[in-house]
Structure 1
Amino acid sequence: MTQTPNLPPLIESHQSEYQDSGVTSTVAIAGHPIHPAIVTLPIAFLVAAPVCDLLYFWTKDLFWARGAFWLIVAGIVTGLLAAATGLMDFLGIERVRKRTAGWAHMILNVAALTLTIVNLVLRWGKIAGAIVPTGLIISIIVALLLGLSGWYGGELVYRHKIAVIGYTDRNQS
């Protein structure tokens, strides 16, 4: 009989890392964390913006250029609100600052918001003139950055139990 070598797992297990029920968010209403609820808005707006940019590129219909412009404005406004709540959690929860995922999540979001502001400034006063190719490229990069940032945000919640206090305790009873 041949012995199988003791190989490391393909996916690193963090099960024993946190046996507690998690860490509560510093910004919550009735125990519900605000940051995960708010981030859905800028993500939706800023992922829809490159779609409108592409539709403008293909159709040359100014409707799509205006749509992308206002999606970017809405993305910045809601993104700043999400950033404020996220920053409060980042500064207030040591577990977030100790993790690469926390730093990556913050840096990617700051980069996405900064690029979005640049995109808005380029379009200001010439909504359609700045779309092809610069605005479109920036919009696509922002959408990709948000996808990557969301991955790290998920790491914080699901692997490192940020903003989930009491969740496991309630479900085990």
Structure 2
Amino acid sequence: MTQTPNLPPLIESHQSEYQDSGVVSTVAIAGHPIHPVIVTLPIAFLVAVPVCDLVYLLTKDLFWARGSFWLLAAGTATGLLAAATGLMDFFGIERVRKRTAGWAHMILNVAVLGLTGVNLVLRWGNLAGAVIPTGLVISIIVALLLGLSGWYGGELVYRHKIAVIGYTDRNQS
């Protein structure tokens, strides 16, 4: 029988930081956290905005400027829902507030919603005129901030075990 050599881990382990199984989300249905489900909508809408803006820049087809506007509107509405569930977890779970990742995730998302609101207002009644350059710049910044915020959200879930206990886990313990 051959033995495998002791190789160093490829990914740094934070297992010793939390020996427990995790923390339940404060906003869940049947044990399934709502925030991670809802955030997919504003992320999709708001990451599509710079794509539509760039296509408008290249084609000057008003369809794409109109699409950006409605994506911003949908991103704002769904972003507010995601923010509500996220804030409930932020204020309801002490472990989130104790982590830099929790604060960074919240602050970045507040910035995303603020910039998205500004972008939407700028385009209200001026669909094409507000796209280049201001709308495009804001939409690119928002997409980048969403990526960074998602990184911190992943830190909360995967490293700090926030909202990782499912309905069956609670029933078994």
Q: Same fold (TM over 0.5)?
A: yes
Q: How does 1:55-134 map to 2 (within 5 A)?
A: 55-134=55-134
The separation in 2 between residues aligned to 1:115 and 1:129, in whole angstroms, is 18
Secondary structure of 2:129 counterpart:
coil
1:162 aligns with 2:162: yes
Whichever residue aligns with residue 141 of structure 1, its letter is I
8 Å CA contact 2:105, 2:150 repeated in 1: yes
Where in structure 1 are there 5+ consecutive unaligned residues?
1-8
The 4+ residue runs of structure 1 with deviation greater than 4 A are: 9-12, 166-170
Secondary structure of 1:21 counterpart:
coil
Whichever residue aligns with residue 120 of structure 1, its letter is L
Whichever residue aligns with residue 81 of structure 1, its letter is L
Report the Cα offset of residue 96 of structure 1. Answer: 0.2
* 2:4 alignment counterpart: none
The separation in 1 between residues aligned to 2:65 and 2:14, in whole angstroms, is 46
8 Å CA contact 1:21, 1:166 repeated in 2: no
8 Å CA contact 1:156, 1:162 repeated in 2: yes
8 Å CA contact 1:42, 1:74 repeated in 2: yes
Deviations 1:82-140 (A, max 9, x none): 00000000000000000000000000000011000000011011011000000000000
Secondary structure of 1:43 counterpart:
helix
Where in structure 2 are there 5+ consecutive unaligned residues?
1-8
Report the Cα offset of residue 13 of structure 1. Answer: 2.9
Identity in percent: 88
Whichever residue aligns with residue 128 of structure 1, its letter is A
The separation in 2 between residues aligned to 1:56 and 1:82, in whole angstroms, is 28
Whichever residue aligns with residue 161 of structure 2, its letter is K
Q: TM-score, normalised by structure 2?
A: 0.90
The separation in 2 between residues aligned to 1:61 and 1:166, in whole angstroms, is 47
* 1:32 alignment counterpart: 32
Secondary structure of 1:88 counterpart:
helix
8 Å CA contact 1:42, 1:76 repeated in 2: yes
Secondary structure of 1:26 counterpart:
coil
The separation in 2 between residues aligned to 1:139 and 1:162, in whole angstroms, is 29
* 2:144 alignment counterpart: 144
The separation in 1 between residues aligned to 2:46 and 2:166, in whole angstroms, is 33
The separation in 1 between residues aligned to 2:82 and 2:137, in whole angstroms, is 24
* 1:45 alignment counterpart: 45
RMSD of equivalent CA atoms = 1.9
Report the Cα offset of residue 165 of structure 1. Answer: 1.5
